[in-house]
Chain A
Amino acid sequence: MWRWLHPYAKPEATFSLSQKLLPWFAIPAVVLTLIGLVWGLAFAPPDYQQGESYRIIFVHVPAAMWAMAFYVGMAIMGLIALVWQIRSAELALLAIAPVGAVLTFISLFTGALWGQPMWGTWWVWDARLTAQLILLFLYLGVMAIYVAFEDERAGAKAASILAIVGVINIPIIHYSVYWWNTLHQQSTVTRAITRLEAPSIAPEMLWPLLLNIFAMLLLSATLVLMRLNNEILRREIHRPWALAYLGISLPSNEASAENSAQQDSKAAGGKHAI
């Protein structure tokens, strides 16, 4: 059933796939982000309560949403890396972490900018805000643990475990506004999925918001793919295919390097087959 997935255990196959996918994410990402932001920030109507200040929702909600979703993606990569010991998954985990951390930071930062004029405070230690701050620390922790080990595989293993365990925080973030009383209001859009209630936002505001959410996904996915490709190239720089891709030819001992690289890949392939 999963046979079609197996080739991507090899970083080379993953590289060529993500290289092919990259323009399909990058171009729509730029176009839709521009359209979405102009639509949301300039053309959507003001809110009846909050006036123009509510427009920060068009950045805040997409960032917060994908910060959580990318964490789940990272945890799944961690599970694959841990159980099936596939290197591409380890590299994907490393590629997702900083992007997710930046998304989380954006959500916290825009939230503070929104909170100051509306609530009257930049920050309050309520359950939603605190849980989101913990999410930022989890991302930073995953990144830090990865590089804290001398052996990269050991670092990846430890980072995977932290990523998997940290996934517990995701439902806590989402349901914090329902389980406890908080200053943060309840969910507007995701409740369509988690509570089967219609989004509580007027259609002429909902459409630009959905577009911005989609654009933020494409933009973040583009960054992840670019990072993933860089990581793969960095790790595989001694392999013939990477050298060929970069247009580098080693003058003297090319043949021997190629030989040893082939042996390496055979050894790696043997390992994956176990």
Chain B
Amino acid sequence: MNPRRKKRLVMTSSILVGVALATGLVLYALSQNIDLFYTPTEIVEGKGSEQIKPEVGQRLRIGGLVVPGSVRREGSGLTVAFSLIDVGPAEVTVEYEGILPDLFREGQGIVAQGILVAPDRIQATEVLARHDEEYMPPALAEALKGIQHVPPSQQQDNDNENTGGGYDR
């Protein structure tokens, strides 16, 4: 390779490596802030190596799985409370008034945004559903996982016949 091209190649590569290093360091420094949500364990036991707990009154997001059997509807039915769990044993209760997303079920991944009103209670203003990266037809899911998907709109009728939620049934 002739020297001028070599020089340009070295210059370009070193710019790329330099910027990549800088970006890597920035992302490493910010890594905890880039997380979209706290897990229940992080709220109860603290986050990171310093075990920093979020303060009561703080506005935050929490993400975890809805504990089966923990969903309680109160009053008109729009007010709902449920517990979230990740690796356990820590559980955080979420209270929410509003319409839940279609995918909301017991056992489902949920991200809720709201205010921490007690060390393990959140008054949520928004509840979002996560779904995993697995896709399969209903028949296969039933055979493989024993899951029969029931949309929440039809869940009320079935609750009388079957105990438990739609996901773990």
Contacts and interface: CB of A to CB of B under 8 A. Distances in A.
A121 B101 CA distance: 9
Looking at chain B's contact residues, the main secondary structure is mixed
B125 interface: no
Contact of A119 (B31, B34, B129, B140): B129
B82 to A, nearest CB: 15
Contact of B135 (A47, A126, A165, A274): A47
B15 A161 contact: yes
Interface in B1-25: 2, 4-5, 8-9, 12, 15-16, 19-20, 23
A50 B128 contact: no
A48 B63 contact: no
A45 B137 contact: yes
Interface residues of B, number: 44
B85 to A, nearest CB: 15
Given A48-B149, A165-B16, A183 B137 contact: no
B4 A188 contact: no
Interface stretch (B35-43, B50-58, B69-77): B35-43
A188 B19 contact: no
A180 B12 CA distance: 30
A161 B18 CA distance: 13
Contacts of A182: 36
A164 B13 CA distance: 9
Interface in A29-52: 45-51
A52 to B, nearest CB: 12
A183 B130 contact: yes
A191 B126 CA distance: 31
A119 B37 CA distance: 15
A274 B4 contact: yes
25 contacts: A46-B138, A48-B138, A49-B149, A54-B135, A82-B8, A118-B101, A118-B129, A119-B101, A119-B103, A119-B128, A120-B127, A124-B128, A127-B34, A127-B36, A164-B16, A179-B34, A180-B31, A181-B37, A181-B39, A183-B130, A187-B133, A200-B132, A200-B133, A200-B134, A205-B135
Interface of A: 45-51, 54, 57, 79, 82-84, 117-121, 124-127, 161, 164-165, 167-168, 172, 179-183, 185-188, 191, 200-202, 204-205, 274
